[in-house]
C-alpha cells in the first residue's frame, strides 16, 4: 500500500456543495448590486467564509465595516444552510461512494479535511457522517488553507504522519496546504492541472490505483 490514509476535502471533492456556495454568494452579490460569476467563485474554493466575503466585496462600490461584513457573511451562510437542508444521500455520486467503500475495505484510513464550518451538516444530510475515521473542519482550525493546519490535524486524528497520507483537493489553496504540510496531493476538477498537484484525477476512483500500488 502506497498510502495508509487519504484526507479528502469536502466541498467540490466529496459532493458538489461548491455550486451551492456559488448560488448563496451570487444571491448576496445580486442583492448588493455587485458583479459575481463562476470564475470569481473559483477563487473562493478552499478559502474561509470571511476571506471569501472579502473577495466578493472586491468589486463593491463602497467599503463595508467589520460589523456589516459579519452580517453579510451571516446572510450568505443562512442562504447556504437552507440549500444544504435540501441535500440528500443521492447527491453523492456512486463513484465517490464506491471509492470510500473500497478504501475502507482495504484498511486505508479516511478523513475529511475541510475549511467549512458546515461540514458535519453536509455529512449528515448525505448519510456520510459515520463513514470517515476522522473529521477535521473549519471548527477545529485557527488558520485557513493554504495553511496546512486542517490536514495536519486530520492526519494526527488518524494517527498517521503526512508522508503516509494523500490529500485530495479541488482548490489551489488546498493543494498548496497539502504540499506545505508534506503530503502527496491529488487534484480533481480545477486542481487537476495545477503545477503543485502530484496526481491528476478525472474522477475520484482514479485515486484507488495510486493508493493501492506503489509507483
30 a catalytic residue: no
The only residue of 119, 157, 171, 204 in contact with Mg ion, by rule CB under 5 A = 171
Residue 120 near ligand BG6 by CB under 6 A:
no
- In DSSP terms, 165 is beta-bridged to 5
Q: In whole angstroms, give the CA distance from residue 113 to residue 174.
A: 9
Q: Which positions from 153 to 182 touch ligand BG6 by CB under 6 A, shown as an x/- string?
A: ------------------x-----------
d(CA 192, CA 189): 6
11 binds ligand BG6 (CB under 6 A): yes
> Is residue 103 part of the contact set for Mg ion (CB under 5 A)?
no
Per the omega criterion (within 30 degrees of 0), is the bond before 65 cis?
Answer: no
Return the range that interacts with ligand BG6 (CB under 6 A); candidates 29-37, 100-108, 112-120, 152-160.
Answer: 112-120
Helices (H) and strands (E) in the chain, counts: 9, 6
11 catalytic residue (yes or no): yes
* Distance between CA atoms of residues 146 and 158, nearest Å: 21
Longest dimension (CA), the chain: 54
Beta bridge partners of 184: 166
* Torsion angles phi and psi, residue 114, rounded to 5: -125, 145
Binding of ligand BG6 at residue 118 (CB under 6 A)? yes
Between residue 15 and residue 74, which ones bind Mg ion under the rule CB under 5 A?
A: 45
Give the nearer residue to Mg ion in terms of CB position, either 122 or 158.
122
Under the binding rule (CB under 6 A), the answer on residue 21 touching ligand BG6 is yes
CA–CA separation, 44 vs 50, rounded Å?
A: 10
15 exposed, middle or buried (CB, 10 Å; 0-12, 13-18, 19+)? buried
Check residue 9 for interaction with Mg ion (CB under 5 A). Answer: yes
CB of 45 to ligand BG6, least distance (A): 5
Please choose, out of 59-67, 109-117, 154-162, 197-205, the segment that lies near ligand BG6 by the rule CB under 6 A: 109-117
**Which residue ranges make up the site for ligand BG6 (CB under 6 A)?**
10-11, 21, 44-49, 52, 77, 114-118, 138, 171
Amino acid at each position: 500500500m502506497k498510502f495508509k490514509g487519504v484526507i479528502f476535502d469536502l466541498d467540490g471533492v466529496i459532493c458538489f456543495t461548491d455550486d451551492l456556495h456559488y448560488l448563496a454568494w451570487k444571491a448576496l452579490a445580486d442583492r448588493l448590486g455587485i458583479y459575481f460569476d463562476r470564475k470569481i467563485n473559483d477563487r473562493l474554493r478552499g478559502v474561509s467564509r470571511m476571506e471569501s466575503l472579502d473577495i466578493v466585496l472586491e468589486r463593491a462600490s463602497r467599503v463595508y465595516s467589520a460589523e456589516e461584513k459579519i452580517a453579510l457573511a451571516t446572510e450568505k451562510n443562512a442562504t447556504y444552510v437552507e440549500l444544504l437542508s435540501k441535500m440528500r444521500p443521492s447527491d453523492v455520486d456512486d463513484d465517490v461512494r464506491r471509492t470510500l467503500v473500497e478504501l475502507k475495505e482495504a484498511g486505508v484510513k479516511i478523513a475529511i479535511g475541510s475549511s467549512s464550518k458546515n461540514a458535519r451538516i453536509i455529512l449528515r444530510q448525505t448519510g456520510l457522517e459515520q463513514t470517515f475515521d476522522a473529521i477535521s473542519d473549519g471548527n477545529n482550525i485557527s488558520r485557513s488553507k493554504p495553511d496546512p493546519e486542517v490536514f495536519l490535524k486530520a492526519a494526527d486524528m488518524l494517527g498517521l504522519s503526512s508522508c503516509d497520507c494523500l490529500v485530495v483537493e479541488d482548490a489551489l489553496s488546498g493543494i498548496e496546504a497539502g504540499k506545505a504540510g508534506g503530503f502527496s496531493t491529488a487534484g480533481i476538477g480545477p486542481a487537476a492541472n495545477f503545477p503543485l498537484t502530484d496526481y491528476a484525477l478525472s474522477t475520484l476512483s482514479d485515486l484507488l490505483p495510486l493508493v493501492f500500488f506503489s509507483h
